């Protein structure tokens, strides 16, 4: 049986509508109205994707997002009334793969689910494995794994896609808009700033000194470039 979409939403009316649309899109839906039930559901069966309301009765959505990320490698779409740019960036910084603001169109949400799953499948089918700086950094496009000095690093699917895109073209300067389009596969208003949050997270995991990065460099006024030396 196909893995389910885990819908975490304490508003039962919203959950009912979203569930109908998701099932109409061909997805099996498991519903949880609080963080405790969500963890129990994910423990029983790792979801295909999680749709997470940030305002829950027993925990914050931000805390639950981090717990879910530790349970499995699946996309998370945040569903919330928090609409400011800073709040959206904070959501991406926690590892969210998409961010949908209430009120929203259930049809658009189904599209977003399809989009994040398509990006995940595309990333999993990446053909090349990349090695840099005499094997210090290894990026496996087949298994979605990143290793530094042989140690496995814990990157989210979105972080992997951003890093893989940058490292596939060493020396090339990407604008934020180009990274959103090429790495994430969509163009939505405000998403360019989310790249900064992803880059910050990636640097924290792959750089020796985040204050003086040597692998992902900022090109001020333009964007970012990967400076690692690719192994032959």
- Check if the beta carbon of residue 194 is closer than 8 Å to that of residue 187: no
pLDDT averaged over the chain?
A: 85
pLDDT at res. 203: 95
Cβ-Cβ contacts under 8 Å for 151 (sequence gap 6 or more): none
Dist CA 6 CA 22 (whole Å): 11
Strands 216-219, 98-101: pairing is unpaired
CATH number at residue 104: 3.40.50.2300
The tens digit of pLDDT for each residue in 37-55 reads 999 999 999 999 999 988 8
Burial of 181 by CB count in 10 Å (0-12 exposed, 13-18 middle, 19+ buried)? middle
- What would the mean pLDDT of 152-172 be, rounded to a whole number? 89
Pick the last residue of a domain from 70, 105, 123.
123
Residues 116 and 131 in one domain: no
Residues 15 and 115 in one domain: yes
Has residue 232 been placed in a domain? no
Residues 138 and 155 in one domain: yes
pLDDT at res. 186: 57
Q: What is the radius of gyration, based on Cα positions, of the chain? A: 18
Has residue 177 been placed in a domain? yes
- What would the mean pLDDT of 215-220 be, rounded to a whole number? 95
Pick the last residue of a domain from 123, 158, 179.
123
Residues 37 and 109 in one domain: yes
């Amino acid at each position: 049986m196909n893995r389910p979409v885990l819908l975490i939403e304490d508003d039962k009316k919203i959950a009912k509508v979203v569930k109908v649309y998701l099932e109409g899109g061909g997805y099996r839906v498991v519903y949880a109205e609080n963080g405790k039930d969500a963890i129990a559901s994910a423990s029983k069966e790792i979801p295909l994707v999680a749709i997470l309301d940030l305002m829950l009765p027993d925990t914050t959505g931000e805390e639950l997002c981090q717990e879910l990320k530790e349970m499995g490698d699946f996309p998370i779409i945040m569903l919330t009334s928090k609409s400011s740019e800073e709040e959206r960036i904070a959501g991406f910084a926690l590892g969210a793969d998409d961010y949908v603001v209430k009120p929203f169109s259930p049809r658009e949400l189904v599209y977003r689910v399809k989009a994040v799953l398509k990006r995940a499948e595309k990333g999993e089918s990446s053909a090349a494995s990349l090695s840099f700086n005499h094997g210090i950094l290894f990026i496996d496009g087949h298994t979605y794994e990143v290793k530094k000095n042989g140690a496995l690093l814990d990157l989210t699917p979105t972080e992997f896609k951003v890093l893989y895109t940058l490292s596939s073209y060493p020396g090339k300067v990407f604008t934020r808009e180009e990274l959103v389009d090429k790495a994430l596969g969509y163009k939505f208003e405000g998403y360019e700033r989310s790249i900064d949050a992803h880059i910050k997270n990636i640097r924290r995991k792959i750089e020796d000194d985040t204050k003086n990065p040597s692998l992902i460099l900022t090109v001020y006024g333009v964007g970012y470039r990967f400076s690692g030396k690719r192994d032959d």
